[in-house]
Structures are given as structure tokens and as C-alpha cells.
Amino acid sequence: MTKNKHLNNAQKLLLEYRPALWRKSLLETVPGIGNKALSACVEQMNFTQELAETLRSNRLLGEKLYWIIYASYLTDRQPVDVGEILDHIAEKHGHIPRSTYFRLKGRAIGMMDDRLNEMTGTKIAV
């Protein structure tokens, strides 16, 4: 995980969402697994989803920022490429150019990171 050292806390949290989703699905199908592991997955997923929902409060770009994060990180299937992400965003919110996607994705992640820092009062380790 050394390649993720330069990522901010929001990026780390978002990158852990899909593996937590898959882990949760697996834990639900295996009998005898303790509820503690399943609860931890559900708690992590809910926290990430709630954090992404805070993007919607942005007056001008809220919905667009939310759908960019959702299509990029919060779907159960890993997108093949940016084109697939842009298609998903177009279905839910409308077409955006590729350059706008990258600019707004950075902005959304920055906003989420700022929110994380506000919630903890300091930088947190994810």
C-alpha cells in the first residue's frame, strides 16, 4: 500500500469502499462468521456514503459532484475506464466533458477531505 501514501484521507476512504462492499457480501454468505466483521464493513460503508451525500449540499454543483464520486467509487462493480464512468454520470445527471470530470472529481475529493478534517478536528489515518 505504499503507492497510496500520497493520497488524502478522503481518497483512501473512497478506495476502501468497494473492497468493503465485496467483503460485506462475502461475510453475509458465509455461515458462522462473527457479526463484528460484518458490522465493521457496514459501518465503514455507511460512513463513506454519508460523507459523499454531504457533497449534495453544494449549491451550484452538488448533484454533479455526488454522481462523479458515486460513479467513480461507490458502485459495486469497478468501472473499466473513464468512459464507463462518464456514461454512468450521463445517465444520472447529464453529460460532462472528460476534462470537467477530472477537475470536479478533484474538487469533490477535496471537499470530502475538508469535511473529514472538520469532523475530526485533525487529519485522520484511514
pLDDT tens, 13-45?
999 999 998 888 888 887 766 678 888 889 999
| pLDDT number for residue 10 | 92
As a whole number of angstroms, the distance between CA 125 and CA 10 comes to 10
Output the pLDDT for position 33: 64
Residues of the chain with pLDDT under 50: 1-2, 124-126
How many residues comprise the chain?
126
Domains of the chain by residue range = 2-120
Give pLDDT, residue 4: 53
Sign of the Cα torsion 41, 42, 43, 44 reads: positive
Is residue 6 within 8 A of residue 121, CB to CB? The reply is: no
pTM assigned to the model: 0.83
Q: What are the helix (H) ranges across the chain? A: 9-29, 35-53, 62-69, 82-92, 98-120
